[in-house]
Chains A and B, each alone.
Chain A
Amino acid sequence: MSVFIIITLIVLVFVIIYQIGKASEYAVVLRGEEKVKTQTNRTIAFLLLVMFVLGVWGIWECNEMFKDRMLPVAACKTGENYDLMFKYTIIVTGIVFFLTQGILFWFCFKFQATGKRTAFYFAHNNKLELIWTTIPAIAMAILVAIGLRNWFEVTSVAPANATVVEVVGKQFNWMIRYPGADNQLGKRDFHKINDANNILGLDWSDPHNMDDIISQSGELHVVVDKPVKLLIGSRDVIHDVGLPHFRMKMDAVPGITTTLWFTPTITTAKMKELTHNPDFVYEIACDQLCGKGHYSMRGTIIVETQAEYDAWLLMQPSYYSQNNPSAAPAAMPAAPKTDSVKAITKK
């Protein structure tokens, strides 16, 4: 019933608006076309100007409204450069935006047809055209220069002391593998994958795999002020590791390993204070449509101090020992856990 009422209402509104349109058309004929045209022209020109003023006010309001909803400060070094560059680009484009839109609406108002004016025949002017070819070209050159400097910085080779962590996507969660005591990730082969006890297809003939730790909760632990390098892969379709707080992202493509690295500068605990949000958490968002659960493919990053990280790592059993309870002690080197942490922390 309510559906019927809504549809009737919509149809009614339509009919009314349409009748207004129709009536005004007759009015034009009755009152003399030329006179109405001049009047309408004046009204429309005024409305355009009003629209521009309202638009500028709207932009201001929008800014105010969003101010406290934006991301907090960038949580890594390259992110800070990012924010700076973003600011420059906003300034350049902002000037052009207000200038050109202002001119557009002002010209509309100023040069409306009144019946008395005649248009000024002005077909071309080489000097003007040269000016507004050159200025954008220079502006673009500057933005490209800043951009490429940052781009090469972000995509540069990770420092040698970076912690290496593997992040693998599948429909619809992230799996994270830490290298364990030997500080080396073992080989994996997609043929060996099974969801019961080898979710990443670790090759057990490779001894480097024995101490590898896999987190299936999508929780990535990293140490503050220490570079971390992500080796990114996918088990099935293309995903994307999106790190909004670190201002970067990288696709996870099956069959290809991609990488990105960054140095987190603010711990999760610190960020909770900065944002006054006790629930704050760094999130990993899948940014490449990967199927029906795309929107729920969420990971988190815990940025912590070295001590906290060590303590956490200490608690993590190797994936091998988790899935082969009986075989584990035999296959593992003696006293692996404590040493493995030390081995990493020493670096």
Chain B
Amino acid sequence: MNNAEIIIDGPNLAHGHEAGDHHGHEHHEQHFIWKYIFCQDHKIIGKQFLITGIIWAIIGALMSVFFRLQLGFPDTTFPIMEKFLGEWAKGGKLSPEFYYALVTMHGTILVFFVLTAGLSGTFANLLIPLQVGARDMASPFMNMLSYWFFFLASVLMMISLFVETGPASGGWTTYPPLSALKEASMGSGVGMDLWLLSMATFVISALLGGLNYITTILNMRTKGMTMTRMPLTVWALFFTAVLGVLSFPVLFSGFVLLIFDRNFGTSFYLSEIFIGGKALPHIGGSAILYQHLFWFLGHPEVYIIMLPGMGMASEILATHSRKPIFGYFAMIISLVGITVLAFVVWAHHMFVTGMSPFLGSIFVLLTLLIAVPSAVKVFNWLTTIWRGNIRFNPAMLFALGFVSLFISGGLTGIFLGNSALDIHLHDTYFVVAHFHIVMGVSAFFGMFAGIYHWFPKMFGRFMNNSLGYIHFFITFAGAYLIFWPMHYEGIAGMPRRYYDYSAWESFKHFQGVNAFISIVAMIVFFTQLLFVLNFFVSIFRGRKMTTLNPWGSTTLEWTTPINPGHGNWIGEIPEVHRWPYDYKDDGHGNDFIPQTMPLRPGEESH
């Protein structure tokens, strides 16, 4: 009891609570600001990340609707866009500058703000302490800072949307010299400076969060929770944090050099440039250097996005198949493999930059090596559901959809990772299709699965199932309808990031396909709003949770009260006696044995 009280007291001490006098009353007396805004409770911080992520996801997705209108119907005007975007869509047609700004912001927002902060920010915060049996993160204060730095990054990015020259428009990768020179593009003005500041702040947030996650997992596991008794979600979130902590600083240094090139006359990335009617004084820099620094994060970033989904899918597939995850150790080892390899494959994004062909060949080898641990994971998931007893609730459906999309998107990676094939497919719609399926939609499916599965833990209520089913089927079908045809466009060489294809003899006949894709994209967008509606209404009006463990799950988070307070467990933290996937007959008619159940006489642990 005392242990819990000490942690709960954290922020309150300064506000008149005399320690020791208020056993159990702190929650009621906490001021709104300390309970929901500047809160140090990991569960609330997780929700803050999630809700901020949802808001960003709506903005980012809405942007894609706008530019899909342009791509699908380049000859039509949409006066409604002028109402939203004003000057940027004069007469109802996007200007090319703003089209590129939208594309850039869509990428930045979805990759960093939604699928990094919104995904691992949410679930690392929510699940790590709950699943390893800790009262909170190692440093709840740092954890709070992590959210507020993310919030600051969000504010800066939001401001950049409203500056006169528009937000950054050089693509989410912001390659210099385009992003470095104000003369090169409108978006390379103040918008780009704000983008860099925002992203630098974001890196700080990611590091504060990541260090906390790692420390918590390594040091704050409850009694009996050995590393090999941790659920795969925690393992996945652990490697996600490791990837982030080791690679975000490199991105940060890349950004600092770019800030210097932009504002202080250095030439890290600039050399021999004639632009705006004059030759610039920069000599000796390398534009390719930035790409190395960027992709040194950029590639691990893909796995920062993917791993949480993998972890949650593993957990959810096992739970709702009522079977242990197949090959628990193989799953961990493949996570290790993916994490290590993720650091040594970055240059496969740069096969056509003129880099040494020999170096390219090394990266081909290492890249295709990742297919092996990925394949192991897929086969293990398939075997997990084999001869299971599958309950199709929305969480399970999204986890299954995750596997399907991961297979589809992973296989196209084999094309792109092989430089001899990439040389034609590079920067075409094939790439767009590949990464949207494998790290866009698939990661989103992992996230949706997680939200549906842990919503009862977060809010003590259930989300509406029927809406969940509608959400799943439309999104799943929509994802394939949108991205499958894009593969063909890419194989036909259609470049990405084009505003209009009508002048191109080789690509103009894809107009009908583009229109089709745009229509489906809009339907899918509105379906996501249905999910958002379901999410927010269910927080207040959803069916109430009446049992502690609605899914019959083995892991620790379901041993906490229905609406756990700060400190998670009332009384002692439970002790762990067995691995997290003991889905077998417990001798009392249940088909699972919680981790807290001591081993029966004669029973072997895993």
Beta-carbon contact of A253 and B354 below 8 Å: yes
From B380, which residue of chain A is reached at the shortest CB distance?
A: A129
Query: Could you tell me the distance between the alpha carbons of A104 and B271 in the complex, rounded to whole angstroms?
Result: 52
Beta-carbon contact of A62 and B484 below 8 Å: yes
Beta-carbon contact of B271 and A123 below 8 Å: no
Beta-carbon contact of A123 and B581 below 8 Å: yes
Among the stretches A85-93, A219-227, A322-330, the one at the interface with B is A85-93
Among the stretches B23-31, B232-240, B244-252, B415-423, the one at the interface with A is B415-423
Known: A40-B392, A113-B390. A256 touches B286 (CB 8 A): yes
Q: Which of A44, A58, A129, A258 contacts B330 (CB 8 A)?
A: A129
A45 at the interface (CB under 8 A from B): yes
Query: Could you tell me the distance between the alpha carbons of A88 and B583 in the complex, rounded to whole angstroms?
Result: 42
Beta-carbon contact of A132 and B376 below 8 Å: yes
Query: Could you tell me the distance between the alpha carbons of A150 and B313 in the complex, rounded to whole angstroms?
Result: 38
The A112-151 residues at the B interface (CB cut-off 8 A) are 112-113, 117-125, 128-129, 132-133, 136-137, 140, 143-144, 146-151
* Count class of interface residues, chain B: 35 or more
From B353, which residue of chain A is reached at the shortest CB distance?
A: A251
Query: Could you tell me the distance between the alpha carbons of A19 and B484 in the complex, rounded to whole angstroms?
Result: 33
Beta-carbon contact of B591 and A119 below 8 Å: yes
Beta-carbon contact of B403 and A119 below 8 Å: no
Known: A71-B492, A150-B420, A255-B286. A290 touches B584 (CB 8 A): no
Beta-carbon contact of B473 and A51 below 8 Å: yes
Chain A 84-117 near chain B by CB (<8 Å), digits 1 or 0: 0110010011001100110111011001110001
Beta-carbon contact of B493 and A244 below 8 Å: yes
Known: A237-B178, A289-B497, A295-B498. A108 touches B400 (CB 8 A): yes
Chain B 85-116 near chain A by CB (<8 Å), digits 1 or 0: 00000000001110010000000000000000
Beta-carbon contact of A296 and B83 below 8 Å: no
Beta-carbon contact of A113 and B391 below 8 Å: yes
Among the stretches B51-59, B272-280, B595-603, the one at the interface with A is B272-280
Query: Could you tell me the distance between the alpha carbons of A242 and B352 in the complex, rounded to whole angstroms?
Result: 10
Beta-carbon contact of B376 and A295 below 8 Å: no
Query: Could you tell me the distance between the alpha carbons of A120 and B371 in the complex, rounded to whole angstroms?
Result: 29
B38 at the interface (CB under 8 A from A): no
B181 at the interface (CB under 8 A from A): yes
A208 at the interface (CB under 8 A from B): no
From A115, which residue of chain B is reached at the shortest CB distance?
A: B389
Residues of chain B contacted by A254 (CB below 8 angstroms):
177, 270-273, 287
Beta-carbon contact of A140 and B368 below 8 Å: yes
Beta-carbon contact of A112 and B492 below 8 Å: no
A250 at the interface (CB under 8 A from B): yes
Beta-carbon contact of A14 and B279 below 8 Å: no
Residues of chain B contacted by A279 (CB below 8 angstroms):
505
Chain B 72-85 near chain A by CB (<8 Å), digits 1 or 0: 00000001100100
B435 at the interface (CB under 8 A from A): no
Residues of chain B contacted by A128 (CB below 8 angstroms):
379, 383
Query: Could you tell me the distance between the alpha carbons of A236 and B488 in the complex, rounded to whole angstroms?
Result: 32
Q: Which of A118, A132, A147 contacts B375 (CB 8 A)?
A: A132
Query: What's the least CB distance linking B272 to chain A, in Å?
Result: 4
Q: Which of B170, B326, B357 contacts A155 (CB 8 A)?
A: B357
A334 at the interface (CB under 8 A from B): no
Known: A70-B491, A144-B364, A190-B273. A123 touches B357 (CB 8 A): no
Beta-carbon contact of B170 and A289 below 8 Å: yes
Residues of chain B contacted by A269 (CB below 8 angstroms):
none
Residues of chain B contacted by A59 (CB below 8 angstroms):
484
Query: What's the least CB distance linking B98 to chain A, in Å?
Result: 9
Q: Is the interface of A mostly helix, strand, loop or mixed?
A: helix
Q: Which of B170, B361, B387, B485 has the most CB of A within 10 A?
A: B387
Chain A 241-280 near chain B by CB (<8 Å), digits 1 or 0: 0101101111101111011000000000000000001011
B369 at the interface (CB under 8 A from A): yes
Beta-carbon contact of B467 and A17 below 8 Å: yes
From B391, which residue of chain A is reached at the shortest CB distance?
A: A113
Beta-carbon contact of B328 and A123 below 8 Å: yes
Query: Could you tell me the distance between the alpha carbons of A82 and B499 in the complex, rounded to whole angstroms?
Result: 29
Chain A 29-62 near chain B by CB (<8 Å), digits 1 or 0: 0000000010011001101100100010011001
Beta-carbon contact of A22 and B418 below 8 Å: no
Known: A41-B392, A124-B330, A254-B177. A285 touches B495 (CB 8 A): yes
A160 at the interface (CB under 8 A from B): no
Beta-carbon contact of A51 and B476 below 8 Å: yes
Query: What's the least CB distance linking B225 to chain A, in Å?
Result: 19
Query: Could you tell me the distance between the alpha carbons of A288 and B279 in the complex, rounded to whole angstroms?
Result: 22
Beta-carbon contact of A69 and B387 below 8 Å: no
Beta-carbon contact of A119 and B488 below 8 Å: no
Residues of chain B contacted by A296 (CB below 8 angstroms):
500, 503
B526 at the interface (CB under 8 A from A): yes
| Chain A residues within 8 Å of chain B by Cβ, number | 118
Beta-carbon contact of B420 and A151 below 8 Å: yes
Beta-carbon contact of B371 and A140 below 8 Å: yes
Chain B 455-467 near chain A by CB (<8 Å), digits 1 or 0: 0000000001111
Query: Could you tell me the distance between the alpha carbons of A283 and B505 in the complex, rounded to whole angstroms?
Result: 8
Query: What's the least CB distance linking B567 to chain A, in Å?
Result: 33
A203 at the interface (CB under 8 A from B): no
Query: What's the least CB distance linking A44 to chain B, in Å?
Result: 4
Query: Could you tell me the distance between the alpha carbons of A13 and B477 in the complex, rounded to whole angstroms?
Result: 20
B385 at the interface (CB under 8 A from A): yes
Q: Which of B378, B466, B488 contacts A70 (CB 8 A)?
A: B488
Beta-carbon contact of A119 and B328 below 8 Å: no
Residues of chain A contacted by B533 (CB below 8 angstroms):
14, 18
From A191, which residue of chain B is reached at the shortest CB distance?
A: B279
Residues of chain A contacted by B526 (CB below 8 angstroms):
10, 14
Beta-carbon contact of A283 and B506 below 8 Å: yes
Query: What's the least CB distance linking A40 to chain B, in Å?
Result: 7
Query: Could you tell me the distance between the alpha carbons of A100 and B386 in the complex, rounded to whole angstroms?
Result: 12
Beta-carbon contact of B80 and A3 below 8 Å: yes
Query: What's the least CB distance linking A202 to chain B, in Å?
Result: 13
Query: Could you tell me the distance between the alpha carbons of A242 and B494 in the complex, rounded to whole angstroms?
Result: 10
Query: What's the least CB distance linking A188 to chain B, in Å?
Result: 10
From A134, which residue of chain B is reached at the shortest CB distance?
A: B372
Q: Which of A62, A66, A103, A140 contacts B369 (CB 8 A)?
A: A140
Beta-carbon contact of B274 and A190 below 8 Å: yes
Residues of chain B contacted by A162 (CB below 8 angstroms):
none
Chain B 322-366 near chain A by CB (<8 Å), digits 1 or 0: 111011111000000000000000000000111001001100110
Residues of chain A contacted by B272 (CB below 8 angstroms):
190, 254-255
From A235, which residue of chain B is reached at the shortest CB distance?
A: B274
Q: Which of B95, B184, B283, B493 has the most CB of A within 10 A?
A: B493
Query: Could you tell me the distance between the alpha carbons of A242 and B506 in the complex, rounded to whole angstroms?
Result: 12
Query: What's the least CB distance linking A340 to chain B, in Å?
Result: 28
B143 at the interface (CB under 8 A from A): no
Residues of chain B contacted by A159 (CB below 8 angstroms):
none
Beta-carbon contact of A107 and B484 below 8 Å: no
Residues of chain B contacted by A92 (CB below 8 angstroms):
414
Beta-carbon contact of A97 and B407 below 8 Å: yes
Q: Which of B171, B185, B361, B581 contacts A151 (CB 8 A)?
A: B361
Query: Could you tell me the distance between the alpha carbons of A108 and B15 in the complex, rounded to whole angstroms?
Result: 55
Beta-carbon contact of B100 and A292 below 8 Å: yes
- Would you mind naming 18 contact pairs between A and B with Cβ atoms under 8 Å apart? A14-B526, A58-B481, A82-B421, A85-B420, A104-B404, A113-B389, A122-B386, A123-B324, A124-B326, A129-B327, A151-B357, A235-B274, A244-B424, A249-B352, A279-B505, A285-B495, A294-B499, A295-B96
Known A100-B379, A123-B328; 14 more pairs at CB < 8 Å: A25-B543, A71-B493, A105-B404, A120-B388, A121-B584, A132-B375, A144-B365, A151-B418, A155-B360, A232-B354, A235-B274, A237-B273, A253-B287, A287-B428
Binding site for B on A (CB under 8 A): 3, 6, 10, 14, 17-18, 20-22, 24-25, 28, 37, 40-41, 44-45, 47-48, 51, 55, 58-59, 62, 66, 69-71, 82, 85-86, 89, 92-93, 96-97, 100-101, 103-105, 107-108, 111-113, 117-125, 128-129, 132-133, 136-137, 140, 143-144, 146-152, 154-155, 170-171, 190-191, 193, 195, 201, 232, 235-238, 240, 242, 244-245, 247-251, 253-256, 258-259, 277, 279-281, 283, 285-296, 298
